Amino acid sequence: MSENNASPQRVVIVGSGFAGFTCARKLVRLLAKADRDIEIVLVTPTDYLLYTPLLPDVAGGLIDARFVTISLPDTLPRVRLVIGKAESVDLQAKTVTVTHETGPDRELSWDRLVLTPGSVTRLFDVPGLTEHARGLKTAAEALYLRDHFLRQLELADNEEDPEVREARRTVVVVGASYAGTELISQLRALADAYAARRGFDRTQIRFLLLDTAERVMPEVGERLGDKALHVLRDRGIDIRLKMSLQKLSEREVVLTDGTVVPTYTVAWVTGVTGAPMLSNLGLPLERGRLTVDTSLRVPGHPEVFAGGDAAAVPDVTSPGKITPPTAQHATRQGKALARNVAASLGFGRAKPYKHRDMGLVVDLGPGFAVANPLGVHLSGLPAKAVTRAYHTYAVSRGVNRWAIILAYLTNAVMPRPLSSLGLVGSEESGFVGSEGIPRQS
């Protein structure tokens, strides 16, 4: 099915993450001010923006998955949503082909194209990884991890074989950057709540955090990283650095030093690479991300822009480097994309992208967090307050903010809910099913 755009002009944005969503929202405002009749189309496989920084809280059962999904029909009423995946782009004919498993392919023409399809989990050639581990990039993965882990705990309660019982009560998380560390902290809190409710010793549930690096969370610096390491170890998390996985099966993992750890629950949170569609475009990539200039334009294609995790955006505050894949940069790049796209259509002036990193907030479960806002190093309860205040402010819709605050307040006075809903299946939560990473041959 083909749709041409005789008039008005059309901007097609691919991906409704932080960059695409913010770009669409700001572009609507800029073009409305200019009184320009330009159609904005957002191509997206989901009808929401996923607030990923709170996925560890979803996996830990602290907040509901719906609270971290910002509805696009509600927030972008003047943007046309095309539900599906942009599969290919014809840069000469200026068209994009959108696929959806339940309908025919759709071809959309564009006058300006904004590529913000984000990133997917970086996988390595580890036997058994795609079959037996789960990532933490989608709501399906977070929900599956929570439900799967709770189910393992329930099965362990009635397991007579002590080895199988121990394996069901063991969790391995690979990746000790902020996402993996937040995940293991939340799963530990969920496990503690379970053990307390069922009346057994929490130390019977074992947690292992692995990373090939020498430190945990290098993003927050040595001092805060070391503090986090001590707190996590005090909570009974076995942290092994300069270590990864050699192979996985359904019932065990083998570490790179040959140690065999029986487990049924493995999370792989070792970083990201650009979305798979980027490699079909025939455009230059840098570390899996699209090459762009400081105005977020793809060199040689003045009508094509890119930003967020999908783009290797030069960091003008640190010459020679590219901006890290964070929501902080993606959101601001979304605004810069809108301004520069509008300028290319004759409204306003383009500006290069410039943003100095404002630091990171990392929630490490009950009563503890680390944060370095504007270079100020915080840990413990002050960091916890900053972290929670930041997330509730950054979630860009009032109803979601309200629900998250209520969930936090409820959790302060009530125990976490422990029922396993089983809504997400094993296939839908895998790297292929939930993130769209092509199956390895």
Ligand X SMILES: Cc1cc2nc3c(=O)[nH]c(=O)nc-3n(C[C@H](O)[C@H](O)[C@H](O)COP(=O)(O)OP(=O)(O)OC[C@H]3O[C@@H](n4cnc5c(N)ncnc54)[C@H](O)[C@@H]3O)c2cc1C
Helix 398-413 crosses helix 380-394 at what angle (to 10 degrees)? 150
Instruction: Give the residues across from 247 on adjacent strands.
Output: 254
Choice from 16, 170, 340, 400 touching ligand X (CB under 6 A): 16
- Residue list 209-248, contact with ligand X (CB under 6 A): none
Q: CA-CA distance, 70 to 73, in Å (whole number)?
A: 9
Distance (Å, whole) CA 250 – CA 262: 9
Q: Work out how close the CB of 361 gets to ligand X at its nearest, in angstroms, rounded to a whole number.
A: 6
Q: Does 378 bind ligand X (CB under 6 A)?
A: no
Residue 118 interacting with ligand X (CB under 6 A): yes
Residues 285-314 that bind ligand X (CB under 6 A): 308-310
Query: Per CB under 6 A, does 19 bind ligand X?
Result: yes
Question: Residue 117, interface with ligand X (CB under 6 A)?
Answer: yes
Q: Exactly one of 140, 174, 190, 275 binds ligand X (CB under 6 A); which one?
A: 275
Q: How far is the CB of 252 from ligand X (least distance, A)?
A: 25
Residue 292 and residue 308 in contact, taking contact as beta carbons nearer than 8 Å = no
Q: How far is the CB of 99 from ligand X (least distance, A)?
A: 9
Interface with ligand X (CB under 6 A), residue from 136, 167, 298, 371: 136
Q: Which is nearer to ligand X, 81 or 405 (CB)?
A: 81
**From candidates 10, 18, 169, 369, binder to ligand X by CB under 6 A:** 18
Answer for the pair 34, 135: CB distance below 8 angstroms, yes or no. Answer: no
**Minimum CB distance to ligand X, residue 390 (Å):** 9
Question: Could you give the string, one character per residue 318-357, with x where binding to ligand X holds by CB under 6 A and - elsewhere?
Answer: -------xxxx-x---------------------------
* Least distance CB 327 / ligand X (angstroms): 4
323: left (phi over 0), alpha (psi -120 to 50) or beta: beta
Please, which residue, 85 or 384, has the CB nearer to ligand X? Answer: 85
**Residue in the shown chain whose Cβ atom is closest to ligand X:** 17
- Residue closer to ligand X by CB (options 100, 240) is 100
Cα separation of 391 and 388, whole Å? 5
Q: Exposed/middle/buried for 176, CB within 10 Å: 0-12, 13-18, 19+?
A: buried
Cα→Cα distances 224→101, 235, 318, 355, 359, Å: 46, 17, 23, 23, 12
Query: And the tokens for 240?
Result: 């092994």
- Kindly state the smallest distance separating residue 116's Cβ from ligand X, in Å: 5
Q: State whether the Cα torsion 182-269-227-225 is positive or negative.
A: negative
With CB under 6 A as the contact rule, the residue among 24, 86, 220, 378 that binds ligand X is 86
Bond prior to 8 in cis (omega within 30° of 0): yes
Element (H, E) at 105: strand 103-109
Look at the chain and count its residues.
Answer: 441
Query: In angstroms, what CA-CA distances link 320 with 274, 314, 315?
Result: 20, 7, 7
Q: 69, 95, 119, 411: which one contacts ligand X (CB under 6 A)? A: 119
Residues 27-46 that bind ligand X (CB under 6 A): 43-46
Residues that contact ligand X, how many (by CB under 6 A):
34
Contact range with ligand X by CB under 6 A, out of 25-33, 103-111, 115-123, 152-160: 115-123
Work out how close the CB of 369 gets to ligand X at its nearest, in angstroms, rounded to a whole number: 11
The whole-angstrom separation of Cα 320 and Cα 97 is 34
Instruction: Give the whole-angstrom CA distance, residue 264 versus residue 169.
Output: 8
> Judged by CB, which is closer to ligand X: 30, or 275?
275
Nearest CA to 147 among 430, 425, 415? 425
By beta-carbon proximity to ligand X, the closer residue of 13 and 229 is 13
For ligand X, which residue of 31, 53, 114, 133 counts as binding (CB under 6 A)?
53
Phi first, then psi, for residue 414 (nearest 5°) are -125, 155
Query: Site residues (CB under 6 A) for ligand X?
Result: 14-20, 43-46, 52-53, 55-56, 85-86, 116-119, 136-137, 179, 275, 277, 308-310, 325-328, 330
